[in-house]
Chain A
Amino acid sequence: MKLKVNDKVYDVILEEKETLLNMLRNQLKLTGTKYGCGTGDCGACKVLIDGMAKNSCMIMAKDCENKEIVTVEGIGTAEHPHEIQTAFVDAGAIQCGFCTPGMVVSAKALLDSNSKPSRDEIRQALKNNLCRCTGYTKIIDGVALAAERMNDHE
């Protein structure tokens, strides 16, 4: 089947009951998306599916045909980072970094639909992403900072 990820169409071989997470990591080598729990509770595997942040460990790869999938790699690279990513760095939103790709994906989904979120709206948008290092404060700061910078540029 064909899978569209980060604006690129891939020919993939489907294994039985293969999750989107395993497909991304094992076949497409997009390892920015992380396994954290496998039960849809931590958010480390979040990707955008048609603009919505979804846990890729809970979604079968076969159900993703004709959908637009964006992983953290598709949001920005160190060479061309997205403003969310640079804002995370500047706000101190990153420590071990393992939850970060999922957080960036959730933040992207939020800011795409709401360019001026309140602090509470940010908290709600991140509530299905677990982090053990930061206590979330600086991640919320990071999303707020990204929103501010993105609005300034418009």
Chain B
Amino acid sequence: MNKWVGKSIPLNSGLHKATGEVMYLDDIEFPGMLTGKILRSEIAFGKILRIDTSKALAMPGVKAVVTHENTSPVLYNGLVRSINDDWPAQETIFNEIIRQYGQPIAAVAAETEKQAVAALKQIVVEVEEWDPVLDLEEAYSNKIKVYEEGNRLPETVKEVGDIEQALADADEIIRTRLDTPMVHHMAIEPHVCVADWDKEDKLTVYVPHQGVFGAQIGLAKIFNKPYSDIRVVHSLMGGAFGVKVGIIIEPICAELSKQARRPVKIRLTRKECMVGTWTRHSARLYLEAAIKNGEIIGMNIREYLNAGPTCGGTHFIPVAQSAKLFKLYGFPAMKFYASPVNTNTVQQGAMRGFGSPKLFTSLEIMMDQVARKLGVDRVEFRQRYLLNPYDPNPLSEIDLISNARSKDCLQKGKELFGWDEKREEDETYWYGNGVGMGLHGNGVAPHAPDITGMTLKLNEDGSYNLATAICDHGGGSYTVIAQIIAEILSISPDSIRIKKPDTENTPYDLGAYGSRNTWVGGNCAIEVATVMKEKLFHYASQYFGCSDSELLLEDNTFYAHDRKESVSVRDLNNYVLYTFKEKLIATEYFSSKHNAGSYGAHFAKVRIHKETKKIEVIKYVAVADVGTAINPKLVEGQLQGGIQMGLGYALSEELLLNERGKPLNANLKKYHAFHADEMPDDLTVHILDSHEDYGPYGGKSIGEAATVPVAAAVVSAISHALDGLLIERIPVTSSYLEKSLANHQ
């Protein structure tokens, strides 16, 4: 029986967050700190002909003005995760060629924010504007080139079986397409960074960051400095969702600090977060299902994926997508082709789900269309094709299907939801029921080295410090890690204080993305705590003069000789320190060899107003296969948050650009995410009772998986309400519905 694992203990630092006493980076002032502000492009494509900063430099309080003329020209890819990654490098800190609206053109550091803003207005910029390329297939055609060498980035092709043969053998081919939007992450904490290029030429960057070691790689390359002179320190994270990875404002902040020789803070405005960081990749997907004798014999998927002006990690999205795609349904043949392209939209990048939400939404739309065509219940139809636990993965021998419980999720969801294919209607509304399946992974293995390290130190009073470069986005990774260590060492999770990521003071970690924290971090926590426990047992047996097997560790105390004698870990530590001159400390690295899917089956009921076409989600059920829930309440929180994000993806969230690439709704009034009063009150999240072989205590991820099936379920319900209407874009807005219903008739 576990004492801590499986328990819903409250979130680490929760009370201090509730009282506003925790410090985020923007709450902290550094001695001598300047404020940095960025001047951004008002055009999407063109060239800077002239830039004059002389007036700005002469403004009161201004300490530095930087542009492409006086900063590092090094080409880099801010998303690389290893010093050897050979990813397309298309970024520079500044560039005379403008490739997106909002691209930084110059930046100022001044004593006050007001002075910095005033100085920005004095920078004179002359630009030549060119016609941008915004559409994905137009970009693919290379008619307008974002770069001389063309717009196509490295593509991905994965095939199982013979799709050409399947399409040739088919009685019927069903075709669908789906356009998916650019989505703002909307972490409530805006991007913020403090760079301190000190007088000894060392650069320290403070930033709420998902992967400090990744940021160090990019900064070292840009500034041509040894890693030993670049320190990246994580600050408390006010939400990330994938957009606090890599380097975005860090290089500008560092340049300003380098030139001013003072610490500089840049905190973006909300609008800058929306247009000057990145959004979820927009995409267009085409699907073909080959049908023969009432069954799917082949599925062909072609995706155009928007990178925006620079590659970043976009070319890796389809690699990740394909790793999930082949783990859900088993069709005799399936092909996935994806072409990422550069465009002049705002920059695109990682966001919760890393390509899975769009892919599974498109696939699930197809599953609905085929089931409807064949006259089969949509849930039953999916059950036919879902893989069973321990089926082989047709793509990989190490990327395991293992205990994939998607079928059980679907069955449980069906029961909890009260699934019914019958359509309801009253005078005012159409009603529809929908289902969506999907999964996300656990870490980045086997596609990249998936490594993390932890150092656990026993203090003289019996408390522990853990150093890890894994960051807690806010979802509770540190709580989970503390629960695991507490379980093994028989202590309270409160007695473990976790030191935040710092390239100089915490062991290496790849980065807190790819739903790695529970899977890789949890396993590493087991290893480091186990090594510590072995050391404790070793010394306790010497202390008592007995064997390990005669010892009992309970509540941070060792008992021996049938509980007749005891020593607290505090006193044992003292004994070890002064007798053996050893400080009890353990450092362990864990490298994940396997991946597993975290599955979800989501069900939604919508009602659509017949006049206004307003769509409301009135009931929602999500069932998740996360293996063992190490902290069930935190898992529920992830699911509920993932559903909020998914509902916006399905129904309301989209960053819109005009035909010149200029954003139309870059504020939180016009860009609409779901508010508290719009969430379905009838919302059930259910955690399937399960166990994953390679997971820590049988647990696996939920952070990203939570949001993957949501849009699929909602679109399925909308389509059901409207007699099978084929949805070809998300978000499904009232005006889109109006238009497609008119075309449908």
Contact = CB atoms under 8 A, between A and B. Distances in A.
Chain B at the A interface: mostly helix, strand, loop or mixed?
Answer: loop
Interface in A59-91: 71-73, 75-78, 81, 84-86, 88-90
A132 B641 contact: yes
A133 B641 contact: yes
A132 B18 contact: no
A134 B706 CA distance: 12
Contact of B22 (A33, A97, A129, A134): A97
A39 B668 contact: yes
B237 A96 contact: yes
How large, as a class, is the contact surface on chain A?
Answer: 35 or more
Given A92-B8, A97-B22, A136-B676, A86 B15 contact: yes
Contact of A37 (B26, B640, B668, B675): B668
Contacts of B237: 96
Specify the main secondary structure of chain A where it touches its partner. Answer: loop
Contacts of A96: 17, 187-189, 237-239, 473-475
Interface of A: 15, 25, 31-39, 41-42, 44, 71-73, 75-78, 81, 84-86, 88-90, 92, 94-101, 104, 119-120, 122-124, 126-140
Contacts of B26: 31, 34-35
Interface of B: 8, 10-11, 13-24, 26-27, 114, 185-190, 236-239, 241, 267, 269-270, 473-476, 633-634, 636-637, 639-645, 667-669, 673, 675-679, 681, 683
Contacts of B16: 78
B19 A76 contact: yes
A26 to B, nearest CB: 9
A18 B600 CA distance: 48
Contacts of B17: 94, 96-97, 100
A127 B27 contact: no
A92 B668 CA distance: 26
A132 B644 contact: yes
A132 B20 contact: no
B14 A94 contact: yes
Contacts of B188: 34, 36, 42, 44, 96, 98-99, 130-132
A36 B675 contact: no
B681 to A, nearest CB: 6
Contact of B637 (A41, A90, A95): A95
A154 B410 CA distance: 46
A78 B475 contact: no
Nearest to B670: A41
Nearest to A88: B18
Nearest to A119: B681
A37 B18 contact: no
Contact of B642 (A72, A73, A85, A135): A135
21 contacts: A36-B189, A39-B669, A41-B669, A73-B20, A77-B19, A81-B15, A92-B10, A94-B18, A95-B641, A97-B22, A97-B474, A98-B474, A119-B681, A127-B676, A127-B677, A128-B675, A132-B188, A133-B474, A134-B640, A135-B679, A138-B636
A38 B473 CA distance: 23
A39 B236 CA distance: 24
Nearest to B21: A78
Given A132-B187, A133-B641, A137-B683, A36 B270 contact: yes
Contacts of A84: 18
Contacts of B11: 89, 92, 94-95
Contact of A135 (B20, B189, B644, B677): B644
A136 B679 contact: yes
B189 A34 contact: yes
Q: Give 8 closest A-B pairs by Cβ, nearest first.
A: A32-B20, A96-B474, A97-B17, A98-B238, A135-B640, A41-B668, A31-B27, A135-B644
Contact of A35 (B185, B190, B675): B190
Of the candidates A99, A124, A131, A138, the one having the most CB atoms from chain B within 10 angstroms of its own CB is A131
Contacts of A37: 270, 667-668
Nearest to A124: B677
A78 B19 contact: yes
Given A96-B238, A119-B681, A135-B679, A41 B667 contact: yes
B677 A98 contact: no
B243 to A, nearest CB: 11
A88 B13 CA distance: 12
A97 B475 CA distance: 10
Contacts of B186: 130, 132
A92 B637 contact: yes
Contacts of B24: 34, 98
Contacts of B640: 134-138
A89 B681 contact: no
A15 B114 contact: yes
B6 to A, nearest CB: 15
Contacts of A132: 185-188, 239, 241, 641, 644-645, 673
